[in-house]
């Protein structure tokens, strides 16, 4: 008599979902207990989002930062299913794809990720572009290309949000446009990069000053139109012309996650145990942008790739432990430092006793991210391209 192997269904192929799947596949299993691992994502590619900025300046190509799932998983036993999850029936333990096919599971991992909310300001959903996906980067690149080919004397870009994402994309666009660019960052706070280390914050401010990027602090966006943006500063609203608006602030869970009968915070994030298991739900785990993440002291953690990457290790181990009747481990976040790109061939890095900026930090950032790419095969392909590309350009 054969025992049916458990099935682990992972919804979402971002950092949390993909790396949980890869870690699960690499763990030691007895033949009779090794589960079927199914990874579901609506895209056919994994996006290494910290390097998305380099698409804007064409320092990197799509294949380098967004390899196909089939390529990444080719040497694993993980089954990839491309499709849109339209329903998760927690009672029958089934995930419904595209309202048609059903996947039964024993363990469920929800790593669907969040989205940038654009419906909080009139006109933003229609006229602003978020910066979260490959399609977002393509839209921004195409808009910049059209503006560059136009007869416009200046290209006016407004970036909403003065966090890491806003500062990084501002510097990249400023370097791409050069003297033709007129870039401004709009933020409600009193300073930019308010969650960054002092070194990164100071380095970021210097990078913005060098590129003459304007800062609108303590300022709210009240409306976005096709060629204008309205800003409120100290009660006074001013409408200024703009060619491109990029929205980098906020995180919102999907409608699918909102509808799940699971305990949530006031902002809609899933409540989880320290083991990453959803509160009061055995066998359902969640991680990444859609959960309320905390460190060992109870401090809330930001929705970053680094947090999701570390959570994936614990999530995989705890599912393994549950199947093999071993104790699960509470998540312990290890801050490994902060990195940000500050234009072409320039970055800032702080953490683990290091403080670097300029081209040295840029190279270090590249090498660290190269190590974080999903598998050795892709690391070697990308690393070889990074080494040979300067030689090819020199000889061409």
Give the span between the Cα atoms of 7 and 107, in whole angstroms. Answer: 6
Strands 347-351 and 354-357: antiparallel
How far apart are alpha carbons 45 and 63 in whole angstroms? 9
The pLDDT tens digits for 258-301 are 889 999 998 889 999 999 999 999 999 999 999 998 877 788 88
pLDDT at residue 396 tops 80: no
Compute the distance between CA of residue 191 and CA of residue 196 in angstroms, rounded to an integer. 11
What integer pLDDT is reported at residue 350 of this predicted model? 93
Give the SS3 label for residue 116.
coil
How high is the pLDDT of residue 394?
63
pLDDT digits 0-9 by tens, 193-238: 998 999 999 999 999 999 999 999 999 999 999 999 999 999 999 9
Q: pLDDT digits over 157-207, tens only?
A: 999 999 999 999 999 999 999 999 999 999 999 999 998 999 999 999 999
Phi, psi of 377 (to 5 degrees): -60, -45
Neighbours of 210 (CB within 10 A): 13
For residue 56, pLDDT over 90 is answered with yes
Given a cut of 70, whether residue 3 has pLDDT beyond it is: no
Structure tokens at 80: 């990839």
The yes-or-no verdict on residue 138 having pLDDT over 80 is yes
> Does pLDDT of 392 surpass 70?
no
- Within 10 angstroms of residue 9's Cβ, the number of other Cβ atoms is 25
Q: pLDDT tens digit string along 365-384? A: 999 999 999 999 999 999 99
Which of 113-122, 216-225, 330-339 has the highest average model confidence (pLDDT)? 216-225
Which residue in the block uniquely carries the two structure tokens 């995180």?
251
* Closest to 336 in 3D by CA, of 369, 382, 291, 380: 369
CA distance 193 to 200: 8
Inter-residue contact 97 to 84 (CB < 8 Å):
yes
Residue (of 79, 246, 91, 102) closest to 169 by Cα position: 246
Strand 228-233 to 219-224 pairing: antiparallel
Contact by Cβ (8 Å): 63, 382: no
The token pair at 327 is 């104790």
Report all structural domains of the chain as residue ranges with CATH numbers, in order of start: 7-42+83-114+251-323 (3.50.50.60), 124-247 (3.50.50.60), 338-395 (no CATH)
Nearest to 283 by CA among 313, 331, 253, 328: 328
Q: DSSP letter for 211, please.
A: T
pLDDT of residue 321: 96
Q: Where are the alpha helices (DSSP H) in the chain?
A: 15-26, 53-56, 62-65, 69-72, 124-127, 134-149, 164-177, 198-210, 255-259, 305-323, 358-372, 376-395
What is the pLDDT at residue 195? 87
CA distance 25 to 17: 12
Tell me the mean pLDDT in the region 125-130: 96
Q: How far apart are CA 114 and CA 94, in angstroms?
A: 22
Contact yes or no for 207/180 (Cβ under 8 A): no
CA distances from 286 to 37, 110, 145 (A): 16, 5, 39
The string of pLDDT tens digits covering residues 60-85 is 999 999 999 999 999 999 999 999 99
Predicted confidence at residue 1, as pLDDT, reads: 38
């Amino acid at each position: 008599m054969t025992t049916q192997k458990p099935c682990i269904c992972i919804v979402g192929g971002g950092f949390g979902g993909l790396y949980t799947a890869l870690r699960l596949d690499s763990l030691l299993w007895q033949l009779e207990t090794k589960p079927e691992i199914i990874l579901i994502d609506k895209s056919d590619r994994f996006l290494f989002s910290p390097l998305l900025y380099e698409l804007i300046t064409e320092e990197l190509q799509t294949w380098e930062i967004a390899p196909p799932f089939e390529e990444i998983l080719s040497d694993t036993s993980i089954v990839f299913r491309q499709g849109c999850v339209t329903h998760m029936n927690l009672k029958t333990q089934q995930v419904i794809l595209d309202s048609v096919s059903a996947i039964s599971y024993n363990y469920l991992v929800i790593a669907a990720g969040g989205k940038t909310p654009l419906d909080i300001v009139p006109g933003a959903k229609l006229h602003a572009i978020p910066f979260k996906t490959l399609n977002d980067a393509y839209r921004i690149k195409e808009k910049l290309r059209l503006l560059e080919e136009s007869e416009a004397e200046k290209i006016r870009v407004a970036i909403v949000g003065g966090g890491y994402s806003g500062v990084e994309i501002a510097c990249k666009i400023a370097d791409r446009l050069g003297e033709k660019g007129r870039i401004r960052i709009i933020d409600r706070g009193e300073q930019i990069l308010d969650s960054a280390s002092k070194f990164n914050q100071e380095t970021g401010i210097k990078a913005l000053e060098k590129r003459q990027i304007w800062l609108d602090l303590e300022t709210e966006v009240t409306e976005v139109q096709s060629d204008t943006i309205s800003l409120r500063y100290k009660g006074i609203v001013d409408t200024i012309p703009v060619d491109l608006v990029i929205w980098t602030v906020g995180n919102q869970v999907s409608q699918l996650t909102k509808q799940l009968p699971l305990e949530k915070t006031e902002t809609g994030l899933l409540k989880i145990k320290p083991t990453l298991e959803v509160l009061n739900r055995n066998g359902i785990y969640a991680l990444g942008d859609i959960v309320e993440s905390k460190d060992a002291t109870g401090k809330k953690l930001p929705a970053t790739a680094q947090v999701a990457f570390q959570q994936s290790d614990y999530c995989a181990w705890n599912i393994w432990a549950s199947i093999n009747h071993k104790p699960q481990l509470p998540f312990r976040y290890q801050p490994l430092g902060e990195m940000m790109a500050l234009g072409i061939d320039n970055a800032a890095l702080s953490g683990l006793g290091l403080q670097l900026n300029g081209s040295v930090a840029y190279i270090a950032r590249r090498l660290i991210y190269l190590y974080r790419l999903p598998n050795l095969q892709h690391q070697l392909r990308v690393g070889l391209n990074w080494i040979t590309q300067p030689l090819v350009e020199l000889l061409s």
